[in-house]
Amino acid sequence: MNDFPWLTVLILVPLVGAPVVAFVPKRLGSALPKQLAVAVSVLTLAIGVAIAARYDVGNGMQLTETHKWIDAFGVNYALGVDGLGLLMILLTVALVPIVLIGSWTEADDGNPAAFFAWALALEAFSLAVFAATDVFLFYVVFEATLVPAYFLIGGFGREGRAFAALKFLMFQLGGGLVLLAGVIGLYVVSAQQGSPSYLLTDLAQLQLGTGAERWLFVAFFVAFAVKAPLFPLHTWLADTTENATPGTSVLLVCVLDKIGTFGMLRFCLGLFPEASQWATPVVVTLALISIVYGALIAIGQDDVLRLIGLTSLSHFGFITLGIFAFSSQGGSGAILYMVNHGIGTAALFLLAGYLIRRRGTTLISQMGGLEQVMPVLAGLFLIAGLATLGLPGLSPFVSEILVLIAAFDYHWWVGAVAVSGVVLAAIYVLWMYQRVMTGPTPPDAVGTRDLGRRELAAVAPLMLALVVLGFYPRPLLAVANPTVDSLMERVGVSDVPPAVPAADPGSAEEGHQ
């Protein structure tokens, strides 16, 4: 039973489930493909939980599978999971059933079976990305995620969705082409030093020249900065979240975009440690710009979905800053931030979707006074918003404070700029809530129903996670810390010990007296 291919099965269940859901005969009704998709996603979640139960914390890459694929190029079908990969897998398998339940009616005016099938396909490819331990395999599934994402954006949502899908695809394909150049570069270097190989374990042993390592780092980092997204490669983000359905935005921002910061940790730091340190000043600067710029432009938005999307530009700036601060607090905070951002932003998008369906508009200026007629939705929307701004007691606060500690350790002015992003977050969240929920109730909103049982069932696990992980993040940190320690050792950095003033011998003698 130790040889059971857990990760392959985890990927195959939603991958096989997607076409099954897509080709359910229409004569059987629109509910059946939805129910089948939810069942597949719940089964995938159960397999993910089983993998987590088998995972031995602190024991490196586990549940590994390696099979020859393209022998001439040193390509293997290789999977494995460490603390970083496990947390991303658990985030993915937990969010997908929540999204499917929360998006039950989002595609009813089109082809609901296609929407649910593409969501499962995106889940399968994302899981493969987080489990891949062969760079070529990673590249293949990295690009494969674009297919279901494109159809989810372009096929469902608002009138501008076709342009948003095309813009998304062009940015992502551009980043993918740059990544392909880096993948080819790794093949050339590995072939020159023996036999070609794309396995992470083999690539980590390569002796890279300074120039080659830096060019390879740039290729990988640019692709991941597009995916993350990071300033100035972020402009596809707001158009996508504005025009896609809220459920699609959850899958893109809370799952797919995590591939960017996952890649920075797995490949940039893991394969190019010297180049990562060399690029740190530039990356930290871009992260700080993302934090402040994303928050500033979010303040001025009138479209609630566009505003939520732009908050993620600021949050991904925090994650990137934590990664490249090169400290255990920063690395652990970044990984924890990836999980907590996925939970909080998913809740915010889903609740915004419920709100929009009731009001028939995404414009904040056309809302107001809704907390009186929808107190449950308003209360949950406030909690999700407070989580976004990092309120103590909710899970994003823990990850944010760890990143800020690392930022101040890196340099005081870096920490000071990052803190300004927290202040700006309070402005855009509280002002949004004030304009949407407070004030006199519009006459056409009187009698609007509050959240139903299915909608509550979708967001309740997210709310519970925000509170529980806000007070008890230890399980997540226990899984993340060994991976961070390994990466810090790989990069060759260690935490700076706190400066403790030397004790005055005289005062010590007086104390003994």
What DSSP letter does each residue of 39-104 carry, written as one string? HHHHHHHHHHHHHHHH--TTS-SEEEEEEEEEGGGTEEEEEEE-HHHHHHHHHHHHHHHHHHHHTT
Least confident stretch, 90-104, 154-168, 323-337, 441-455: 441-455
pLDDT at 1 over 50: no
Least confident stretch, 95-109, 260-274, 497-511: 497-511
Q: 256-296: per-residue pLDDT in tens?
A: 889 999 999 999 998 888 998 899 999 999 999 999 999 99
Q: Which residues are 363's β-sheet partners? A: 303
**Residues 167, 190: Cα–Cα separation, whole Å:** 35
- How high is the pLDDT of residue 505? 54
CA–CA distances in Å: residue 171 to residues 139, 232, 424, 435 = 16, 12, 28, 33
pLDDT band at residue 503 under the 50/70/90 scheme: low
Between these two residues, 208 and 418, which has the higher pLDDT value? 418
- How high is the pLDDT of residue 264? 92
Say whether pTM exceeds 0.85: yes
Look-up of token digits 């508009």: 361
Task: Read off the pLDDT of each residue in 4-17 and give the average, rounded to a whole number.
Answer: 93
Is 470 in contact with 397 (CB distance < 8 Å)?
A: yes
Between these two residues, 397 and 108, which has the higher pLDDT value? 397
pLDDT band at residue 508 under the 50/70/90 scheme: very low
Distant-in-sequence, close-in-space partners of 214: CB < 8 Å, separation ≥ 6: 272, 275, 278, 279
Between these two residues, 445 and 362, which has the higher pLDDT value? 362
Written as six digits, the tokens of 475 are: 């399980």
Domain extents in the chain: 1-271, 272-493
**Residues 129, 148: Cα–Cα separation, whole Å:** 14
**Residues 293, 301: Cα–Cα separation, whole Å:** 13
Between helix 112-131 and helix 135-144 the angle, nearest 10°, is 160
299-323 burial string, b = 16+ CB within 10 Å, else e?
eebebbbbbbbbbbbbbbbbbbbbb
- How high is the pLDDT of residue 108? 64
- How high is the pLDDT of residue 513? 46
Consecutive H or E run containing 281 = helix 273-299
Residue 433's CB: how many other CB atoms inside 10 A? Answer: 18
The DSSP 8-state label assigned to residue 234 in this structure reads: -
Q: 226-259: per-residue pLDDT in tens?
A: 988 888 888 888 888 888 889 889 999 888 889 9
Average pLDDT, the chain: 87
Task: Please give the backbone phi and psi of residue 268, each rounded to the nearest 5 degrees, phi first.
Answer: -65, -50
CA–CA distances in Å: residue 475 to residues 78, 334, 468 = 27, 15, 11
Q: 359-389: per-residue pLDDT in tens?
A: 888 888 888 888 888 889 889 999 999 998 8
